[in-house]
Structure 1
């Protein structure tokens, strides 16, 4: 390969990676060194000085090969001797983002390897005792931090972020002591260079726990938390960054557990300032309560909000998103300003819809910027949903429901805004119904529900399929939670929603059909049918629905509705629905017949789940939900098991399960293997069950299974006796198959042997020395 003059970049890249894999092993490293192949590959005499280096794939292969080679104990001396470290420095600014990222990670890896030995058993070596390779890397980082070029500062900060995020040695404390003054000096520049990377670094340092010390694993406090300089640097950074840049840092600070209270208060104020500005600008009366003492909107935040639409939208969306992430955390600030936050987010939504009437110039400009802004609407609705976990005065909750209804009714609401509005409405409905000692809906919720259902009815008829889909998802979730509530049942049955849901089973959009199947199954499960069944045939409509689901399962051209139909059928069987319980054998046979022919692997896997539920019910274990714990099976009487096996044969479960055992999709094969192991364990507990071990039917089945495993799928099994089934289950190596299916392929794909096999296979197919490398 090295002697070839017209070598392709793919082959050269592949060879560099392969050489790195070989060189990580002692005997290969010595062999390649003796032949002077390593310097030729990774030194200046190799691809570095040739035209091939212009190809990003070659540079990437060089970095990846060195990363693997670095595992060898002598790798550091080799890297220093061949000048590879300088090349890694230059690749940090590579035009290919993949190469630049890999070079930065390799630099951290080399630094960690260089410091790992000297730092063992010590608090951390002094800087003058660091190895030469580490000194060189740290000096390069220092030079980059002092550079006037922002890209070089960014590269240094990114390397340090990776160091403190991934390196486990105590030497990192000495590194921070040495470099923290240079990091703090970046704040003196205007604007602060590489602000995003600076925030990432400071948070990485603050989170780095004493992983090498006893009891330190898993702590979020910093190994440097006793160093007041770190907290002072964080406070200064919050003050020097713009409101948009400071938001991620403020959120990260508030997630820390051991953080000074003054810094937490400062960080929380940063997040609240945009909403405080909105409240002040849209206040209808003087004296409106603020969000938090000291968190009033400052002039810089107001200037940012009013500078441009993009700046205003970006700042508000970030503030809403950060507060939404903070709200459910146990370490969120206390007291939590629930009421002012609710007021602020309702105000933002009114500004966006144009229904607000601000009295100040700032409020008017904000309204002009935000009206019709879908991005802010989505962020505000998300945060409004998160605030449903708190409490608020009834008049403010009424305002929340009012603004939600306004958005759900508005023809200006986009499909994504409507989806967010449905989600927020559901969260507030469920939260408001959690009244202690109350088994039905309170009057306020009941009134809102009466106003909401006509809106939902309208949205289910929307020409936009995304809106119909969101409405069905909302209906499904609401029915799942409130299906037994009298007030909800009465309001729903008085509307046309159930009938519209039934009609949407034939919607032209597959996503909508799938959601309609799920919603219809949920409604039917609670007895919320579209129209009452006739007295002569009380189950006629339910039979029709069951037939419609089987029709979808058998004929729908898209996978989503068929998956939903399978899930509904499984739930009906598991719940013992009356219409299914009348003839479960016929029901299961029809569903399994459709599932066995389905091309969608998820449908086939769900069919096996239905088969498992049916098996549990036949064995009288409807409460068991640990079917794959085959070590200690519950004993089933031989008569019960024999009858169960006969029923399973009649519904052709074994035809389906054994074919699935050799399915090309691993999840299906794994589920079938677990099912058959469970059944075999049950059979093993019944020693008196007669086994037809040498009958012709057993030999025929085993031969058929062998052909199926080889890829021939034509011949069916036919009807089998229970004894023959038990014999086949005991003869098939299900444990070995399960182990094979559970084994990852990484141990093959990433080995040198596998790489060489790929090379040889490609050469054999192509007839030339070229491999299609990955």
Structure 2
């Protein structure tokens, strides 16, 4: 330990035990513990305790206090555990008496035994119970600790804390039991102990017997506690002894399936998956049977996470994966079955939908239906990869997706009997047979869109009336799943357009998207705009997509949403219109219903949003669109490049949102790179900047930067109160300085600019006076100022974190003492 820290430590310990002194806040105590942890991990700590007796004295005095402060007591318990983790320190704390406190007895039993805090009023504070558990967790590192835990009765206290009212305390108690069990099983018993436990250490036997009693309990809370302990054990302990533990406890776990209802089903699922992922899973064939039984006994809501986990297991039998596949398929099947008013899709995997009672039960709970639909749609990509599993279940013995004995689905253009129900791509009722003859993505994409209809009110069935409440969450997952399907769809042989299946799907998808953009639910409108942006980014150049989009009225609806009352929707509409415009797919809505925007360009409207919108999200989105337009050589940019940059920078410089100002500097950097002849990639449908024009000379570049007032914007931002803005400005000016230096500056041509006024303005800005603008600047004056500024040093200072001041332990001790007046003000060092 540093000598100065040793000098300050007694005073700090005295402050901590003095009830008249204010207690240091939790942050300082945590930092102090972090320091002690670093010291103890660096090497043997016995000498540290011997040379600093104030630490042991602190522990005794906290115990002796009539009403110890909970935070200090918790700190002391954790500190004692840190030192006692080393066996020599453990022995030292056991026998060392207090030098100034008339306190007899061993210190550690007084801290962690029944005669310690457990019986006092401070024990009612969760922070004390948590500190007690954390102290024991640190202490339990060696065989001596096991004997100590058994002698002081700590294990029984840990059992009781599993049901603590504080979730943090209860969780810590369960994790500590797992740690003690693993510590006890080290050594001779770590091989393959007998399941009966006759050769297990006493401490391990006590914990396992407690788990067994809890599994037999009729109280769900106790069952949950036992399952959680076992889940953590099999998740973290992969030694051979865990196999004997599972052999001993698996019958009790299986007995839980016989109860109605199954207690602690969520914890049971976690345990079974934890065992299946551990080495035990590969050696116990009976585990697969238990998993299959559990899938059969759990409700759809409970079985979903288990089914998903099973599908991700590597060595799982195919029959079990088929069963899990059907469980995850059931939410979509129930909704579509109810919406279609049909008994069940022909050829659909048997049991996937269930009977009418199953469907009604599933649809009766809105929260359950929402959760399961989102889960199914979120993992549609995984299900798509497992189509062969479903086909093997539908057509036993086929084993491949090429089986053709099933009836073929009607062609999309063929008439269907009865009234035409809304459908997209292929009808869900032909799902299984279509999987055998069509590329899987088509079927799954159709499933997504059918799901949208069913849950958003397209059907006239009464139960679906509450489906409008589901649109936000379910639609977002459906959009995400569909995008993944579209991105993975096969390309046509020519690779110049979308494949026929995707074209067909998009043709029927866009009307659904149009309806979602008109939804009264803002989440549906927002998700629809995000999806439109993403598909346009990927397929804006495909002729079939362009034709279908322009015929769908979606671009016009997107423009209307620029004035949506919800700021998130406005931001998404800005991004979508910007993407559409980049591909030449956006036209400002015209007509008598929109007289106010007939003569406005999109640039003018977005600039108006940047200047007037009260929310930051739309303004940030506008800046991102403008920056991308500048990179792409958008038509509105190429028409008058300097005017475009000047107007955008003027609006951005006055914005109160630091992200808008930072994005303005990003746009300025793109503009500078283009002037220097380094344009980025451009959209093929954009109006490109002249490629044949040679890069401008340095003088021309500087003049253009002055005309758009880029220097004023960047120099002001250099002293911005938000550090990211100042960093971007510094990087921009350094980039320009580096480009200008090799070319020779104006001063080398004989010019001697007067830079006094510019430097004076910078000094005012640095002092916080931002009122007066620089006015018109000459390039020579600007470059002279840049050469005189230490931009490299400023960048280094800005790169430091806000707490870059000295953070040494000595500084921490000084500050803690200064807050209570022990040190003079000049001795404190801001930590």
Q: How high is the TM-score relative to the length of structure 1? A: 0.70
CA distance in 1, matches of 2:473, 2:549: 20
Mapping for residues 134-145 of structure 1, pairs under 5 Å: 134-145=204-215
CA contact (8 A) 2:93 2:108 kept: yes
Q: Could you list the per-position Cα deviations for residues 82-137 of structure 1 after superposition, in whole angstroms to 9, with x for gaps in the alignment?
A: 43322211100112222211211222233344445668xx7567766655544433
Give distance in 1, aligned partners of 2:332 and 2:549. Answer: 38
**Distance change in 2, residues 1:237/1:523 (3 Å):** closer
Indicate whether 1:734 and 2:795 are aligned: yes
- Alignment match of 1:332 (pick from 378, 383, 386): 386
CA contact (8 A) 2:471 2:524 kept: no
CA pair 575-456 structure 1, distance change in 2 beyond 3 A:
same
CA shift digits 1:681-710 (9 cap, x unpaired): 6678x3866899xx9999999999899788
Distance verdict in 2 for CA 1:296–1:624, change over 3 Å = closer
Q: Is the 8 A contact 1:305 1:315 kept in 2?
A: no
Query: What's 1:160 paired with?
Result: 230
Among 79, 83, 86, the alignment partner of 2:156 is 86
Decide whether aligned partners of structure 1 residues 22 and 409 sit closer, same or farther in structure 2, where only a CA change above 3 A counts: same
Q: Is 1:196 paired with 2:277?
A: no
1:572 and 2:642 correspond: no
Q: Aligned pair in 2 of structure 1 residues 60, 687: CA closer, same or farther (>3 Å)?
A: farther
Give yes or no for the alignment of 1:725 onto 2:765. Answer: no
**What does residue 134 of structure 2 align with?**
64
Superposed counterparts of 1:530-545, under 5 Å: 530=587, 544-545=601-602
Change in 2 beyond 3 A, CA 1:291/1:736: same
Provide closer, same or farther for how the CA distance between residues 473 and 409 of structure 1 changes in structure 2, counting only shifts above 3 A.
farther
Shift of 1:157: 1.1
Structure with the greater alpha carbon radius of gyration: 2
- Tell me the equivalent position of 2:286: 229
Deviation at 1:163, TM superposition (A): 1.7
Q: Is the CA contact (8 Å cut-off) linking 1:272 and 1:319 kept in structure 2? A: no
Distance, in Å, in 2 between the alignment partners of 1:476 and 1:151 is: 48
Shift of 1:165: 1.7
Shift of 1:553: 1.6
1:179-223 CA-partner distances (Å, limit 9, x unpaired): 334433444555543332222111101112xxxxxxxxxxxxx45
Which residue matches 1:632? Answer: none
Which stretch shows the higher mean deviation, 612-621 or 269-278?
Answer: 269-278
The reply on whether 1:515 has 2:572 as its aligned counterpart is yes
Q: Equivalents in 2 of 1:307, 1:639: separation in Å?
A: 72
What is the CA deviation profile of residues 238-290 of structure 1, one whole-angstrom value per residue up to 9, with x for unaligned ones? 34445554443233222111112333334335555677788999999999633
Instruction: Give the Cα–Cα distance (whole angstroms) in 2 for the partners of residues 687 and 70 of structure 1.
Output: 68
Separation in 2, partners of 1:326, 1:581? 43
Q: Which moved more, 1:278-287 or 1:327-336?
A: 278-287
Q: CA 1:288 to 1:550, structure 2 compared with 1: closer, same or farther past 3 Å? A: closer
User: Which 10-residue stretch deviates more, 649-658 or 228-237?
Assistant: 649-658
What SS does the corresponding residue of 2:372 show, helix, strand or coil? helix
CA contact 2:130–2:168 (8 Å) conserved in 1: yes
Q: Deviations over 1:285-324 (max 9, x none)?
A: 99963333x64767xx665445685369847963783475
Judging changes above 3 Å, is the alpha-carbon distance between structure 1 residues 166 and 646 closer, same or farther for their aligned structure 2 residues? farther
| Residue in 1 that maps onto 2:172 | 102
Aligned-partner SS, 1:557: coil
Q: Distance in 2 between matches of 1:117 and 1:710?
A: 68
Q: Give yes or no for contact 1:289–1:340 (8 Å, CA) kept in 2.
A: no
Q: Does 1:561 align with 2:621?
A: no
Distance 1:476 1:441 in 2: 17
1:395–1:605 CA distance, 2 compared to 1 (3 A) = closer
**1:334 counterpart SS class:** helix
Residues 72, 392 of structure 1: CA spacing in aligned structure 2 closer, same or farther, 3 A cutoff?
A: closer
Work out whether residues 659 and 708 of structure 1, in 8 Å CA contact, stay in contact via their aligned partners in 2.
Answer: yes
- Rate the CA distance shift 1:166–1:442 in 2: closer, same or farther, 3 A: closer
Distance 1:92-1:491 versus aligned 2 partners, 3 A rule:
closer
- Partners of 2:338 and 2:469 lie apart in 1 by 29
In 2: Cα distance, 1:488 partner to 1:82 partner: 74
Q: Supply the distance in 2 between the matched residues of 1:703 and 1:668 (Cα, whole angstroms).
A: 22
- Distance change in 2, residues 1:513/1:187 (3 Å): closer
Give CA deviations for 1:449-474 in whole Å, capped at 9, x if unaligned.
88887887776566665555455445
Q: Deviations over 1:363-408 (max 9, x none)?
A: xxxxxxxxxxxxxxxxx9xx99xx9x97479999999878867958
Specify whether residues 476 and 65 from structure 1 end up closer, same or farther in structure 2 by C-alpha distance, changes over 3 A only: same
The CA distance in 2 between the partners of 1:713 and 1:30, in whole Å, is 66
CA contact (8 A) 2:304 2:328 kept: yes
Listed one character per residue, the Cα deviations across residues 708-730 of structure 1 (whole Å, up to 9, x for unaligned) are 78878778788553354255355
Give the aligned partner of residue 46 of structure 1. 116
Q: Taking structure 1 as reference, are residues 302 and 101 closer, same or farther at Cα in structure 2, changes over 3 Å only?
A: farther
Q: How does 1:165-314 map to 2 (within 5 A)?
A: 165-167=235-237, 169-208=239-278, 222-242=279-299, 244-271=301-328, 289-292=346-349, 295=351, 303-306=357-360, 310=364, 314=368
> Of the candidates 668, 673, 676, which is equivalent to residue 619 of structure 1?
676
Deviation at 1:649, TM superposition (A): 6.0
Q: Which structure exhibits the higher relative contact order, with contacts defined as CA atoms closer than 8 Å and separated by 6 or more residues?
A: 2
Distance 1:282 1:721, change over 3 A: closer
SS of 1:45's equivalent in the other structure is coil
Q: Whole-Å Cα distance in 2 between the matches of residues 642 and 116 of structure 1?
A: 76
Compute the displacement of 1:568 (Å): 0.8
Give the C-alpha shift of residue 76 in structure 1: 4.7
Q: 1:324 to 1:473 in 2, by over 3 A?
A: closer
Rate the CA distance shift 1:180–1:687 in 2: closer, same or farther, 3 A.
farther
Contact 2:212 2:249 in 1 (8 A): yes
The answer (yes or no) to whether the contact 2:442–2:501 under 8 Å persists in 1 is: no
Shift of 1:339: 13
CA distance in 1, matches of 2:137, 2:444: 59
- Contact preservation (8 Å) 2:331, 2:372: no
Cα 1:101–1:189 change in 2 (3 A) is same
Contact persistence 1:165–1:205 (CA under 8 A): yes
CA contact (8 A) 2:307 2:325 kept: yes
Task: Write the distance in 2 (CA, Å) between the matches of 1:709 and 1:22.
Answer: 50
Whole-Å Cα distance in 1 between the matches of residues 187 and 755 of structure 2?
64
Structure 1: give runs of 5+ residues left out of the alignment: 209-221, 347-354, 359-379, 534-539, 626-636, 768-774
Map of 1:414 onto structure 2: 468
Kept in 2, the 8 Å contact 1:473–1:515? The answer is yes
Contact kept, 8 Å, 2:559 with 2:589, in 1: the verdict is no
2:220 is matched with which residue: 150, 163, 170?
150
| 2:657 aligned residue | 600
Alignment of 1:30-45 (within 5 A): 34=96, 35=98, 38-45=108-115
C-alpha separation in 2, matches of 1:232 and 1:402: 35
Secondary structure of 1:505's partner? helix
Alignment of 1:675-690 (within 5 A): 686=742
Q: Which moved more, 1:418-427 or 1:43-52?
A: 418-427
Between the two proteins, the alignment pairs up a number of residues equal to 687
